[in-house]
């Protein structure tokens, strides 16, 4: 089988080549993203393999279907970049529901510690033989309250890490997990209470119409002064302009962002030496209490290997049997993992 692999990066190739060779799949790597302009590159392939910032809209779905390209293999968990409703009955959308929740949760804690203990500042200072501690005062995580929105695979691992630090956890999920709350160090609460009582808020829910801008001016107004916002989930969960205003007004004490609302034209590419057009991102990055990584939380050796393995297995299963447990279906109330496998 031949699969057109869009938005390919050097770190993708070793594991995809290895699993592809074992399973009779030839990946053809294209540096470009999948867009309406590049979709023609998929001509003659059995499927496309795409990532978080590739576009799979109605125009692209129609064109893929016309070309007989029926497999859209996402090499990620989130699928907010796919028009799932439109895809139903036209292409099979497969995803990697889990590859390493530890990678993302650990990166979230790395960002938090870096920020509140000023490690990013210390690294630069000591390289310049500046051993002053002025302005370096942080705070203990022990005893602080962290609000976790989304208690799925990543949220749970992050909660465990936070418990290791002796933090109190306030959780919110549309579908709470009864086994998670212990009534003491972990409690499910309504969003309002989470906003009012949390010292740190971490987002681990998917981007949907409901969660779009869950952090906005209104919710920030409810937060404690000095709240730390962590977003390693999807950019549009946070209204970036409201966040910037919150930082300027000193309401927000710090922000750690691995994702950004308008990241798709910027993240994963080298724009050093260019003039950044995005004033909000440029201003956020200029702040001493904002740390931005460019959608890097997933990037561990373990995650890359798991992603390549599951993506390849998904494609093989779908091609051989017409079914795949990791197929996504739109079933009226939104996209969900397909249970029947017969949704095409
Ligand atoms: P998951 O499906 O295991 O968990 C998501 C949780 O969010 C579920 O418990 C679900 O019930 C909950 N949820 C759904 N709608 C909600 C709502 N309206 N309000 C509150 N909670 C809601 O997913 P996961 O594997 O834990 O991943 C979480 C998110 O992390 C993904 O959606 C993806 O966007 C993001 N992610 C980011 C990276 C990265 O590199 N930065 C990597 C992987 C995943």
Atom of ligand 1 nearest to the CA of 258: 41
Do residues 233 and 257 both lie within one domain?
Answer: yes
- 73: domain range? 2-99+301-328
Please report the pLDDT score of residue 339 as a whole number.
Answer: 60
Pairing of strands 92-94, 327-330: antiparallel
Do residues 90 and 115 both lie within one domain?
Answer: no
CA distances from 64 to 237, 238, 335, 336 (A): 30, 32, 20, 22
92 is catalytic: no
Do residues 58 and 127 both lie within one domain?
Answer: no
Do residues 242 and 141 both lie within one domain?
Answer: yes
Distance separating alpha carbons of residues 150 and 64, to the nearest angstrom: 33
Please report the pLDDT score of residue 332 as a whole number.
Answer: 61
Q: Atom 12 of ligand 1 has which residue's CA nearest to it? A: 150
Please report the pLDDT score of residue 41 as a whole number.
Answer: 98
Q: Give 154 Cα–ligand 1 centroid separation in angstroms.
A: 7
Atom of ligand 1 nearest to the CA of 297: 40
Please report the pLDDT score of residue 148 as a whole number.
Answer: 98
337 found inside a domain: no
**Neighbouring-strand partners of residue 190:** none
192 found inside a domain: yes
Give the three-class secondary structure for 129: coil
Give the model confidence (pLDDT) of 15-46 as tens digits: 999 999 999 999 999 999 999 999 999 999 99
Do residues 281 and 143 both lie within one domain?
Answer: yes
Do residues 75 and 179 both lie within one domain?
Answer: no
| Pocket flag, ligand 1, residue 147 (CB < 6 Å) | no
Closest Cα partner for 68 from 92, 95, 100, 86?
92
CATH of the domain at 70: 3.40.50.720
Please report the pLDDT score of residue 263 as a whole number.
Answer: 81
Please report the pLDDT score of residue 56 as a whole number.
Answer: 97
Please report the pLDDT score of residue 269 as a whole number.
Answer: 86
Atom of ligand 1 nearest to the CA of 172: 20
Q: Atom 4 of ligand 1 has which residue's CA nearest to it? A: 152
Q: Which residues contact 282 (CB under 8 A, 6 or more apart)?
A: 276
Do residues 142 and 283 both lie within one domain?
Answer: yes
Among candidate residues 263, 302, 323, 331, the one labeled active-site is 263
What's the N-to-C CA distance of the chain in angstroms?
20
295 is catalytic: yes
| Pocket flag, ligand 1, residue 78 (CB < 6 Å) | yes
199 found inside a domain: yes
40 found inside a domain: yes
| Pocket flag, ligand 1, residue 107 (CB < 6 Å) | no
Do residues 87 and 129 both lie within one domain?
Answer: no
Count structural domains, the chain: 2
Among candidate residues 295, 302, 327, 331, the one labeled active-site is 295
Q: Which residues contact 25 (CB under 8 A, 6 or more apart)?
A: 1, 2, 3, 19, 312, 315, 316
Q: Atom 9 of ligand 1 has which residue's CA nearest to it? A: 152
Do residues 222 and 312 both lie within one domain?
Answer: no
343 found inside a domain: no
123 found inside a domain: yes
263 is catalytic: yes
Do residues 60 and 206 both lie within one domain?
Answer: no
In the predicted model, residues of the chain with pLDDT beneath 50 are 344
Do residues 26 and 156 both lie within one domain?
Answer: no
pTM across the whole model: 0.91
Q: Give 64 Cα–ligand 1 centroid separation in angstroms.
A: 28
220 found inside a domain: yes
Do residues 95 and 124 both lie within one domain?
Answer: no
344 found inside a domain: no
Query: Is the distance from CB of 20 to CB of 65 less than 8 angstroms?
Result: no
Among candidate residues 107, 118, 234, 327, the one labeled active-site is 234
User: Which alpha helices (H) appear in the chain, and where do they start and end?
Assistant: 13-22, 58-66, 84-87, 101-116, 119-127, 153-164, 191-197, 217-222, 240-248, 279-286, 301-321
Q: Give 117 Cα–ligand 1 centroid separation in angstroms.
A: 27
């Amino acid at each position: 089988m031949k699969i057109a692999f869009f938005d390919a990066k050097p770190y993708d190739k070793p594991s995809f080549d290895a699993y592809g060779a074992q399973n009779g799949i030839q990946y053809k790597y294209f540096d470009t993203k999948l867009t309406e302009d590049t979709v023609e590159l998929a001509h003659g392939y059995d499927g496309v393999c795409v990532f978080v910032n590739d576009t799979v809209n109605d125009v692209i779905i129609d064109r893929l279907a016309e070309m007989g390209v029926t497999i859209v293999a996402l090499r990620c968990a989130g699928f907010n970049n796919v028009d799932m409703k439109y895809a139903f009955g036209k292409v099979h959308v497969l995803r990697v529901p889990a590859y390493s929740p530890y990678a993302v949760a650990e990166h979230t804690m790395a960002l938090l510690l870096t920020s509140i203990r000023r490690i990013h500042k210390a690294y630069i200072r000591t390289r310049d033989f500046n051993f002053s501690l002025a302005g370096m005062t942080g705070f203990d995580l022990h005893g602080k309250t962290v609000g976790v929105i989304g208690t799925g695979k990543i949220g749970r691992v992050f909660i465990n890490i936070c418990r290791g630090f002796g933090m109190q956890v306030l959780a919110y999920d549309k579908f709470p997990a009864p086994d998670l709350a212990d009534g003491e160090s972990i409690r499910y609460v309504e969003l309002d209470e989470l906003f009012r009582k949390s010292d740190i808020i971490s987002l681990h829910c998917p981007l949907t119409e409901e969660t779009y801008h869950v952090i906005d001016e209104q919710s920030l107004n409810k937060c404690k002064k000095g709240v730390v916002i962590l977003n390693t989930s999807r950019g549009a969960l946070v209204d970036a302009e409201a966040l910037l205003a919150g930082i300027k007004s000193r309401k927000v004490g710090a922000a750690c962002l691995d994702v950004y609302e308008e990241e798709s034209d910027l993240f994963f590419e080298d724009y050093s030496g260019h003039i950044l057009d995005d004033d909000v991102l440029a201003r956020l990055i200029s702040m001493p209490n904002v740390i931005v990584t460019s959608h890097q939380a997933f990037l561990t050796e373990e995650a890359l290997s798991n992603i390549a393995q599951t993506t390849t297995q998904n494609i093989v299963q779908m091609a051989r049997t017409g079914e795949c447990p990791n197929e996504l279906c739109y079933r009226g109330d939104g996209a969900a993992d397909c249970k029947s496998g017969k949704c095409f």
